[in-house]
Chain A
């Protein structure tokens, strides 16, 4: 149950688009379309932003989008805003009947 690999940090200017990668294996990301993405502000509980690779829960901005290719999933934030500054985590179900999170990415809005 090794953590999925994410870049430690990604930054962008307001209005720009950024993409966060999440790399796993054929036993997790590559096995199912059960990848989710979470946003976490300091001291707060995580918030679901994307589920099942590319679906947005009600109330989540359409500036957030997800995709997957092979063993790598991606979260794209378009039209970057100051309030998007937070930590982001991917999550995948695994073939071992477990779930595994990514290492986390800190997004900085310049």
Chain B
């Protein structure tokens, strides 16, 4: 069974940084594209970023380009999202997903002073 568990969310001040992690199990992690998707409170889903199976290709939404960095450690079956220069509008639940098919439960990031 595919399992994805996000961690690293929390409260951070505007301009601060946070690193999200996603522990994957139940499938061959190194074979799959992985994505991050976020959802602000009461709002819709927004695609954030994706990374190919070996980490050589990454893509970002315009709203996070230059501030967020997606990466992965295939030896540890873990996906990451480094978030810098955080803004109030980055407040959301962040979901880790395998190929946008299987989803974790999400981790809440709150950017507030």
On A, residues with C-beta under 8 Å from B are: 1, 3, 36, 38, 40, 45-48, 51, 57, 89, 91, 97-104
Contacts and interface: CB of A to CB of B under 8 A. Distances in A.
Nearest to A105: B44
22 contacts: A3-B44, A40-B45, A45-B103, A45-B105, A45-B106, A46-B37, A46-B45, A46-B103, A48-B100, A48-B101, A57-B101, A89-B45, A91-B45, A91-B47, A98-B60, A98-B61, A99-B100, A101-B37, A101-B44, A101-B46, A103-B44, A104-B45
A57 B101 CA distance: 9
Instruction: Classify the secondary structure of A's interface with B.
Output: strand
Contact of B44 (A51, A57, A89): A89
Interface of B: 35, 37, 44-47, 50, 59-63, 95, 100-106
Contacts of B100: 36, 48, 91, 99
